[in-house]
Amino acid sequence: MTSAEYYLLDVFTDQPFMGNQLAVFLNADGLDASTMQALAKELNLAETVFLGAATGPNHYPMRIFTPTQELPFAGHPTVGTAQLLAELGLIDRQQTLVLQPPVGELAISYEKGRATFTTAQAAKLTDSTLDHASAAILLGLGRHQVIGDPVIASCGLPFHLIQLSDLTALQHIKISEAVWAKAVASSSAEQVYLYVIETSDNAETVLRSRMFSREHGLCEDAATGSAAAALTGYLANKQSRQSRQSNALHCRVHQGVEMGRPSVIYTAANGPIKPGLVTVSGSALVIGRGVLTTYQ
């Protein structure tokens, strides 16, 4: 019988009990994958991080688990872990932090109270198994409330991206289990990211979003950095094709409002950023710590 210490954080927010919840276990080298999965299931948060001992100055291996599976990459665990390491004084904010999840190394910097990382992979776009009509039926909306055909986008974790007409449509989602089973569960992406473009100008694009997935039943996520990155990569690609230029795209994504856990995710692409890659940044608060007993 051994014990494993963890920290609780609220991520993509600067207010306690808002944003997306995260647990981070430090010094997790002695835990095997099955124990990590069991601990993540026990805590039952959207994601739980297991951090290994530093492999060099400001370099840490990282594994990410949902209650049912390991993920190659996720945004709010990256931002939350980076903020925790800085808060505990384990890294130097003036130097680049490198986290090492399965998707590849993520370089992280700190500015204005936010942790910022650049995706390890360029945004990859593929056709969705949903079309305009089936997307509307999936969401319980009229066809006029869905804009265009969905697309699958990924910066390491794939999502069906579906643009909606307005906030009213976003607020009145009723997922069809039958359409989900037929068109989503059988696809390469088992997450659906819905978004509305509220305002857009040369300075910033403001969006509202919701993310749905299936773990043990249909669930909604309060803040999904990997989805915001995929969406930003898609919008940047679309912008470049339409204007034939790679003007910088800066986004502010509001998510979790309908859940009562509002979050804010800042993303950017194009301009000085390597084509295809996306930066993601946000705040996080440490709100608690605990110890779980493990039996190995």
The candidate with the shortest Cα–Cα distance to 192, out of 236, 241, 140, is: 140
C-alpha–C-alpha distance, residues 268 and 121, integer Å: 14
Domains 2-118+283-294 and 124-276 share a fold: yes
Break the chain into its structural domains and give their ranges: 2-118+283-294, 124-276
- Domain 2-118+283-294 belongs in CATH node 3.10.310.10: yes
Residues designated catalytic: 47
Q: pLDDT for 7-58, tens place per residue?
A: 999 999 999 999 999 999 999 998 999 999 999 999 999 999 999 999 999 9
Nearest in space to 79 (alpha carbons), one of 193, 194, 228, 207:
228
State pLDDT tens for residues 145-178: 999 999 999 999 999 999 999 999 999 999 999 9
Task: Note the CATH number of domain 124-276.
Answer: 3.10.310.10
Span 72-108, pLDDT tens digits: 999 999 999 999 999 999 999 999 999 999 999 999 9
